Amino acid sequence: MQKIFVAEPTIGKKELKYVIQAVKSSWVSSKGEFIRKFEEKLAKFHGVKYATTTSNGTSALHLALIAAGVKPGDEVILPTLTFAACASTILHVGASPIFVDISEDDWNIDPKKIERAITPKTRVIMAVHLYGHPCKMEIIKDIAKRRNLFVIEDCAEAHGAKENGKLIGSFGDVSCFSFFGNKIITTGEGGACFTNDVEILETIDLYKNHGADKKNRYFHPVAGYNYRLTNLQAALGLAQLEQLQKFLKIRAKHENLYRKIFKGNPAIKFSPKRNKSNPVFWMHSFLIESKKISRDGLMEKLFQDGIETRPFFIPLHTQLPFKKFVSGKSFPVAEKIAKRGIQLPSSVNLADKEIIMVAKKVLSYV
Ligand SMILES: *Cc1c(COP(=O)(O)O)cnc(C)c1O
């Protein structure tokens, strides 16, 4: 049987056409029409004033923390159940990651626990929309406003998701996206920062571009980075962005196929959905509560059948570079969900019958 991967990009004729155009134009580096078009379309689609592309999602987060003015000794609040880049970039600006547990109802940072984690050193709340599920952005923004904190949204896993009718990426002071090969839309490697504030935009652009002053050539007021996207990558990204809605529809259909087959089985729990929240299905995430078989046992059996799956992230408060920042707190919800969570094949390319075959295999094992 042919192997089924957990996540493959969908690259078609449109991508090829735009990338060939970019190559032929000879604008292959970080200037060119596709960068401008991709950034404009990202901003317009999300209803934000500015989008600026970056070399990846991690550099987008790093730039957002710099733009927030985070300095050594500051604290940044984030969920413990997320990808490591969220916390690594906090260390890269010399600040301390302050981990908070998640809520059962969206698997995201629990606003009640944010309040308790705030100290005089807190500068930023980093809200991560985990596995396509929007955070409670209105509550988080309200806390940030009252406590004078900056909000960074990490939208890497949730392109197109909505909270209370509004697209994620339009709430934060800065919102960060990733276009890695397994994300909802891809540029190979790539990312973006969104903001409505022109000063924040200028700071991000300054640091992403060697700290180079736009007006005075070879004048560098700060030590910057080279965190730019290329025109070739932007060509791929524009083609992908033009198909975002189509991709999301197929993902929703696949999620429904999985659910239809799993329905009524007490061993498989679906991902949560709150009222007024519209998740997207970056990955088809389920919790395994079977008495017969563990999550890891199930993954192993599926692997033997040629079906690749993913476990959930390992909570960051348990990991070597970060655990020294944790003192006397517990994270029961994240620990429970992380152990049980599995992600089933989630590529847009998969045929309905392949999804049904995978779902039936899962069911036979639990
Ligand atoms: C993928 C991801 C990132 C990092 O993006 P890269 O483009 O791989 O650097 C950051 N945060 C989350 C939540 C992610 O899923």
Spans of the chain, pLDDT less than 50: none
279: Cβ below 6 Å to ligand 1? no
First to last CA, the chain: 22
Q: Which atom of ligand 1 is nearest to the CA of 129?
A: 13
pLDDT of 1 reads 61
d(CA 199, CA 206): 10
pLDDT of 318 reads 97
pTM: 0.97
Centre of ligand 1 from the C-alpha of residue 189, in Å: 10
Centre of ligand 1 from the C-alpha of residue 239, in Å: 21
101: Cβ below 6 Å to ligand 1? no
| Burial status of residue 279 (CB atoms within 10 A of its CB: 0-12, 13-18, 19 or more) | buried
Instruction: Give the pair of three-digit tokens for residue 149.
Output: 């904190």
157: Cβ below 6 Å to ligand 1? yes
Centre of ligand 1 from the C-alpha of residue 265, in Å: 32
| Burial status of residue 339 (CB atoms within 10 A of its CB: 0-12, 13-18, 19 or more) | middle
Centre of ligand 1 from the C-alpha of residue 1, in Å: 31
